[in-house]
Structure 1
Amino acid sequence: MAVDGHGDAVEFDAAIVAFLDQLANQRRASAHTLKAYRRELSALQQRADAHDGLAAISPDQLRTWLADAHRRGLAPRSVARRLAAWRSLFAWMVARRLIKANPAAGLRPPKAPRRLPQVLDVDEAQQLVEVEDDDSRGRRDRAMLELFYSSGLRLSELCGLHWRDVDLRDRLARVRGKGDKVRVVPIGGAACEALQRLAEDGCAPAQPVFTGRGGKAIAARTVQQRLRVLAQRQGVWKRVHPHLLRHSCASHLLESSGEIRAVQELLGHADIGTTQVYTHLDFQHLAKVYDGAHPRAKRRKD
């Protein structure tokens, strides 16, 4: 790889540290993204050190390393994430004239088969959210489930919600999503009622809507564990997790309205291509209805 215009050797490890620091402090990357990038770039540095350092990194060498990972069974999505981390680092280095060209720019990851997200059907969703709310924990859990399903929130968005972000009169919530982007989402009637009951336990503006021990914001892991427990208690035997409720919200809304742009805005997707996966789910539903109802869809008996 060609290094900076002066021909000086670049301290690869220092570049990685500086890049990750910018990712955390300026781009406001999530802890999950930072952990993944740190892992991938540390492995890249080790590979480079085992050869000739930064000078060993060429498009052909990177392509070889990716192909080797794919042959060893690394999933196409994981290979794509690895390449994305490499490409971002090298683009950052080019912008700072640490290297002359991005060796990962022209590389393409293996194509991953498109998997449709699993969703609850409407009856399962209703069965899940209708938990008993006779005590403070029950009120919290009921409001949590209703809001996940009503507004399609991400786990981090729900955990970071404070009462100052919730307008129960206008049925709106202000959430902070990926990349620290803020959007306003509607709150359904059932979710609004559940939140009103939860508010009776305390709703100071600076207080988290969903609390765990010591009145602090509920931890993501606690939410995940509660969803598994509540699903079993309610007799829903699919593997229930926060994103399943987000998928279910989007799928049911699209199925009822056909308004893909509205679903995109609700979910906070920057790219409508991400939202379009739900059109495939809707088509699956249409195909099932057609096969069961259309007189020309049924096979003739011999």
Structure 2
Amino acid sequence: MSHAADIALIDRFLEMMAAEAGASRNTLLAYQGDLIAASEVLGGRLGAAKPEELGRLSSEWADLANSTLARKSASLRRFFGFLADEGMRKDDPSSALARPAARRALPKILSRDDIDLLFAEIEIRLQRAGDLKRPLRLSALVELLYGSGLRATELVSLDVRAIVSDRPYAILRGKGGKERLVPVSDRARFSVARWVDVRPTGTSWLFPSGKSHLSRVRLFQMIKELARDAGIPPERVSPHVLRHAFATHLLEGGADLRALQTMLGHADIATTEIYTHVDSRRLVELVERAHPLVDAAARRS
């Protein structure tokens, strides 16, 4: 099999990922890069590679970080699975690929007391400010980060019509161009409405800045400054950490994991499980309280 043949197979695989799996452009580029690099290592024999040949890839990748190795191995497993499913190969050699014991680091955690400190600092700023524009903007930003679980990019690029005062949800276009509904609380809508009353006009952005919208970098800076003034180490707080707090605190309050997956815009429920780091003690208590076999055992005793 030639390198050109490998490229043809990779292109067919990417077409499938785009059409059937709805993979985003960045995801497709990552798959493409991993597969072409592997093909080059194997001299254009990736599509026909035998298990022992895949061992060369493991040697080639020996010095890579575990997370990178895990991604490359996952790309190849999906590729070979596609070839087998489509009848282009009679076997799937991907079992020969390395399986690094990579784990995602748990996200930084903010307690409810920490969140209270952030909002208390915002209230102080609102009471002290002569010009309310900046504290009102900050209030709306934090309410949407923590109250709706928005990603930083989703938040700063919101259209001014996205949050409506009489509608308890917003429709967002997130990763991969996929739309989803996110909840918008009464207090978040109130904060946004107060901000809209004073925001600069002449632009469609909810959070305008110059000729465009507020940048992610500036949002990060604002959240760090807020944390510092609230007495929380700034390195513990970011827009992503506030999104994580939204998920964690909802789950701790009894939210359904599938509903949370939808609100966060995760394609894979496993991502939600890692993101929310449910503690085992609470899950055990849930089983003991709700499982029918527990009730049966209690009746027999």
TM-score above 0.5, yes or no: yes
1:48 to 42, 46, 53: 42
1:220 to 211, 216, 220: 216
2:53 to 61, 65, 74: 61
> Is 1:127 equivalent to 2:124 in the alignment?
no
Deviations 1:119-143 (A, max 9, x none): 1011212222443354434333321
**How far did residue 17 of structure 1 move?**
6.6
Which stretch has the larger CA shift, 221-230 or 176-185? 221-230
In structure 2, relative to structure 1, the CA distance for the partners of 1:68 and 1:195 (3 Å cut) is same
**How far did residue 258 of structure 1 move?**
4.8
> Is 1:196 equivalent to 2:187 in the alignment?
no
What corresponds to 2:136 in structure 1? 139
In structure 2, relative to structure 1, the CA distance for the partners of 1:15 and 1:128 (3 Å cut) is farther
Which stretch has the larger CA shift, 13-22 or 235-244? 13-22
| Distance (Å, rounded) in 2 between the aligned partners of 1:234 and 1:217 | 26
1:281-300 equivalent positions in 2, closer than 5 A: 281=279, 283=281
| Distance (Å, rounded) in 1 between the aligned partners of 2:29 and 2:245 | 28
| Distance (Å, rounded) in 1 between the aligned partners of 2:16 and 2:282 | 43
In structure 2, relative to structure 1, the CA distance for the partners of 1:126 and 1:282 (3 Å cut) is farther
> Is 1:74 equivalent to 2:78 in the alignment?
no
The secondary structure found in structure 2 opposite 1:227 is helix
| Distance (Å, rounded) in 1 between the aligned partners of 2:16 and 2:225 | 39
Question: Are the equivalent residues in 2 in contact too, given 1:159–1:218 (CA < 8 A)?
Answer: yes
The secondary structure found in structure 2 opposite 1:166 is coil
Deviations 1:99-157 (A, max 9, x none): 77654377562333464332101121222244335443433332111101001122332
**How far did residue 249 of structure 1 move?**
0.8
What corresponds to 1:293 in structure 2? none
1:254 to 251, 254, 258: 251
| Distance (Å, rounded) in 2 between the aligned partners of 1:124 and 1:98 | 55
What corresponds to 1:292 in structure 2? none
The secondary structure found in structure 1 opposite 2:180 is strand
Question: Are the equivalent residues in 2 in contact too, given 1:27–1:179 (CA < 8 A)?
Answer: no
| Distance (Å, rounded) in 2 between the aligned partners of 1:243 and 1:233 | 19
TM-score normalised to structure 2 length? 0.71
| Distance (Å, rounded) in 1 between the aligned partners of 2:91 and 2:215 | 42
Amino acid at match of 1:280: V
What corresponds to 1:86 in structure 2? 76
| Distance (Å, rounded) in 2 between the aligned partners of 1:174 and 1:157 | 11
Question: Are the equivalent residues in 2 in contact too, given 1:148–1:242 (CA < 8 A)?
Answer: yes
Amino acid at match of 2:77: R
In structure 2, relative to structure 1, the CA distance for the partners of 1:64 and 1:48 (3 Å cut) is closer
| Distance (Å, rounded) in 2 between the aligned partners of 1:198 and 1:31 | 34
Question: Are the equivalent residues in 2 in contact too, given 1:231–1:240 (CA < 8 A)?
Answer: yes
**How far did residue 81 of structure 1 move?**
1.2
TM-score normalised to structure 1 length? 0.71
In structure 2, relative to structure 1, the CA distance for the partners of 1:20 and 1:160 (3 Å cut) is farther
**How far did residue 265 of structure 1 move?**
3.1
1:174 to 171, 174, 179: 171
Amino acid at match of 1:220: R
In structure 2, relative to structure 1, the CA distance for the partners of 1:142 and 1:162 (3 Å cut) is same
What corresponds to 1:290 in structure 2? none
**How far did residue 47 of structure 1 move?**
1.8
Deviations 1:264-293 (A, max 9, x none): 332233444433343624847999xxxxxx
**How far did residue 48 of structure 1 move?**
2.8
| Distance (Å, rounded) in 2 between the aligned partners of 1:42 and 1:21 | 15
Aligned length: 276
What corresponds to 1:210 in structure 2? 207
Q: What are the ranges of 5 or more consecutive residues in structure 2 without an aligned counterpart?
A: 286-301
> Is 1:244 equivalent to 2:241 in the alignment?
yes
Question: Are the equivalent residues in 1 in contact too, given 2:80–2:94 (CA < 8 A)?
Answer: yes
RMSD of equivalent CA atoms? 4.0
In structure 2, relative to structure 1, the CA distance for the partners of 1:249 and 1:104 (3 Å cut) is same
The secondary structure found in structure 1 opposite 2:99 is coil
Which stretch has the larger CA shift, 83-92 or 180-189? 83-92
The secondary structure found in structure 1 opposite 2:208 is coil
What corresponds to 2:295 in structure 1? none
Which stretch has the larger CA shift, 233-242 or 103-112? 103-112
Which stretch has the larger CA shift, 94-103 or 180-189? 94-103
